[in-house]
Structure 1
Amino acid sequence: MKKLGSRKNDIDAAAIRANHPMPPQCGLFYFEVDVISKGKDGFIGIGFCSKSVPLNRLPGWEIDSWGYHGDDGHSFCCSGTGKPYGPTFTTGDTIGCCLNFRDGTAFYTKNGKHLGIAFRDLKGELYPSIGLRTQGESIEVNFGNRSFKYAIEHYMKEEKTRLWHAINAKPIPPISSPSTSVPISQAASETNLTATVHQLIMSYLVHHGYSETAKAFSTDAVQLIPGDSSEMEDVESENPSLDSDKDMINRQRIRDAVLKGEIDFAIKLTNTFYPSVLPSNGDILFQLRCRKFIEMMGLCAGRQITCSDDEDEEVVEVIKDHLMIEEDDDEEIEDKVDDDDVVIDEKKSSKRRKGVETGLNGLDGNIEAAMRFGQELQDDYRDDNREEIKKALEETFSLLAYTDPRKSVVSYLLDPSGREPVANALNSAILVSQGKPPIPPLEQVYRQSSVVLNELARNGVGSSAFVNLRKDCLV
């Protein structure tokens, strides 16, 4: 953005304000101004203001306006009286302005050098603002479309360190005993907090069926508080060396099967060890079946279906349409595909088959199995009018629209990461059937912390921008 100055008189001064305010959610807001020419006198003001401030004077000379001026190096805070702040600036200089929403301060930089805090106790919705007054003044503003001269990323890291230091310096509050709800003494709270953290970790390991890890953690990390063993009763009750060892192993086998894409095996194990789970959780069974179809299509990915006499597209349409037709329409499919024309061409072999009866005979074994299972899936949920079911089926069957779905816009469906939500949902259903919570306490703490951070950011609390739960706490 460029701006040119006018004449020398005060009444000829003018300012320009950005279209959008600086969002507190970013934590720090920084921009730089390149002085292309100081013009006749260099009466250039750089700063910020509220939306209601008149734009006929330099930044800092009005209420709710702050600025740093190049002709005298003074800072102006909501008045025409300035205070010595930094050096003057002129043609060729780059002046940066930064608002720190964590502590409500603002500072400037000159040619990449930090000049110190200029303003404090800043609040409200503020907009970047530049003012010029004399003839020939010319500037250009950089909001990040090119590299800054000042290392703002380094400053961001420093601010993040300061915030975490402040968080860690807070005294640990007393923790109430889960059995008596009586506050524990401050002297014992740190030890108690450690026990609580151990309990959270143990419950997480048990919840997800990590039996060997849980055993090792129980042996090496979990220690009871001397004189008050009640603080770790929950950990002891979930100790894998007790009743939950076999259950953890069974749930881990089921989880591993889903994560490997072996959906039929996962269903078989679930029905063997937990026979009531799938019949009473139809939505999870639906997720498993959709995932099974996706895994089957993954096995088919890359195989080419070709036909003689230029009927390639016709056969592909048969495969696409087959899942959406009624059984009475089979004759229509037979009319579309000639018995001797279907050829399956793979990388190392090709086969010609005869006797097309349903529009599927003659297809590669993996493709044929996927088509038949897909038709079964479609038939079973044809009359289910729930939007989430319709949407899931539409998304799942979209894999049929591409010769090689691995190279299509729906390739993400084949990604193994899609198995994890299904595995987690099944594991939670098993635990609920045993009267246990569907989500481990540690995950609840994480989710609640995420909600709190989002709410803080939504309400303009700048400090929230310096905390990233995934990067800071999980990695």
Structure 2
Amino acid sequence: MNSSNTNNGQSNNGKSSRLDGINRDLGLYFLELSRLRSSAAPTEMEEDEEEAPKELNTINSSGGFLVVAPDKLSVKYTTVNLHGHDVGVVQANKPAPVKRLLYYFEIYVKDAGAKGQIAIGFTNEGFKMRRQPGVHVNFGQKKFAFDLKEYEAQERLKRQMTIEKISLPPNISYGLVRSYLLHYGYEDTLNSFDLASKSTIPPVYIAQENGFDEQDIGYALNQRKILRQLIRNGEIDAAISKLRDWYPQIVQDDKSATCFLLHCQKFIEFVRVGALEEAVKYGRIELAKFFRLAGFDDLVQDCVALLAYEHPQESCVGYLLEESQRDLVADTVNAMILSTNPNTQDMEGCLQSYLERLLRQLTACCLERRSANGEQGEAFLLRRVL
């Protein structure tokens, strides 16, 4: 993007050069998001990826003092105890997982012996295997004697009830939702939302002290709505044409990240409808300019790879054909338009709505709290919370 063409760029007493420098980076932010979509592992499985014990460890034990059953779930002390250190010890094959709301296992004492000297507990990896064992164990292969799922549900309910006891004025949550609709250009939904809020008893109004600058996030609302609808419908040529008419400075640099994402999406739309010959021609003209260009090369290759599959939706690059990819391109254009507002001072505000920044803060606080607890406890997954 040519910074000299930014709207009213010469009227900000030298501030325009700093802002324009940031403007050029907004598209790169969304380009990185697109790259992460192709390479990031699913975060929803984080909790389940931590391995839990499944059997007893037959390698690291106190050897001849005990016998482990073939199922590796039962252990028997077989030696006559002549000294205090004549003990049999066995550990589980994995440490107890810590990235959970709770972890549970069961041990059944089948025969405590004459003196009942059996110990059950947690040990570290270097524990000396000359201490007392317990230990038939159940790591979940059989139904637990204790109703673990009910207990976990009760714990989650307690936590949710604690959250729901926190009272917020209606205009705060209303303002957050309204700012989200304004930020992303959902004009029709916004009008319906406003109409519904006026019919509540009492009507909901945004207090000025809430800090929402509606004038900035409401900038070019109708135009942003039209462009979002065009991109989400796959009408990329029409979207580019509108941008050239309304905001030529955004698409003036044909090798910008914003233009790159638009060209990629046009290529993807050809593939989506099976127009592979047109996709090849378009790719040779528009995508070839980005080939071997730092920061763009990997996504160019992903786009071109769509041509190699008979069913590209099912391939490793099928993510490009998802609706979320259209949304990402629409978000890029939306942010770039917001950045052309001459009154904009917070460029980060062009990237995300107040609601999203609040959720980022929530995530950061939960991660920090977990870190302070030695990384123990259930992992915070925003999607599951929402």
TM-score under structure 2 normalisation?
Answer: 0.67
Residues in 2 aligned to 1:284 and 1:208: alpha-carbon distance in whole angstroms: 17
Residue pair 1:38, 1:44 contacting (<8 A) in 2 also: no
User: Residues 16 and 460 (structure 1 numbering): CA distance in 2 closer, same or farther, change over 3 Å?
Assistant: farther
2:378 matched to 1:397? no
2:339 matched to 1:426? no
Q: 2:209 aligns with which of 215, 224, 231?
A: 231
State the partner residue of 2:234.
261
State the partner residue of 1:79.
none
Provide structure 2 residue ranges, at least 5 long, that are not aligned to the other structure: 1-54, 56-71, 198-202
Provide structure 1 residue ranges, at least 5 long, that are not aligned to the other structure: 59-130, 133-137, 173-189, 301-365
Larger radius of gyration: 1
Residue pair 1:203, 1:440 contacting (<8 A) in 2 also: yes
Q: Which has the higher contact order (CA 8 A, sep 6+)?
A: 2
Q: Which structure has more helix as a fraction of its residues?
A: 2
Residues in 1 aligned to 2:298 and 2:317: alpha-carbon distance in whole angstroms: 14
State the partner residue of 1:25.
99
State the partner residue of 1:160.
156
Q: Give aligned pairs, total.
A: 299
User: Residues 212 and 299 (structure 1 numbering): CA distance in 2 closer, same or farther, change over 3 Å?
Assistant: closer
Letter in 2 for 1:276: Q
State the partner residue of 1:471.
384
Deviations 1:276-300 (A, max 9, x none): 2223581011011112112211222
- Aligned alpha-carbon RMSD (Å): 3.2
Percent identity among equivalent residues? 28
Q: 1:370 aligns with which of 273, 279, 283?
A: 279
Letter in 2 for 1:4: K
User: Residues 43 and 232 (structure 1 numbering): CA distance in 2 closer, same or farther, change over 3 Å?
Assistant: closer
Residues in 2 aligned to 1:239 and 1:261: alpha-carbon distance in whole angstroms: 25
Matches within 5 A, 1:26-425: 26-33=100-107, 37-38=110-111, 40-41=113-114, 43-51=117-125, 53-58=127-132, 131-132=133-134, 139=136, 141-144=137-140, 147-169=143-165, 190-191=168-169, 194-221=170-197, 223-224=204-205, 230-231=208-209, 234=212, 237=215, 244=219, 247-279=220-252, 282-300=256-274, 366-382=275-291, 384=293, 386=294, 388-425=295-332
Q: Which structure has more strand as a fraction of its residues?
A: 1
Letter in 1 for 2:289: D
2:71 matched to 1:6? no
Residues in 1 aligned to 2:313 and 2:208: alpha-carbon distance in whole angstroms: 54
1:398 Cα deviation from its structure 2 partner: 0.9
Deviations 1:116-158 (A, max 9, x none): xxxxxxxxxxxxxxx14xxxxx72x333456544332221121
TM-score under structure 1 normalisation?
Answer: 0.55
Residue pair 1:399, 1:405 contacting (<8 A) in 2 also: yes
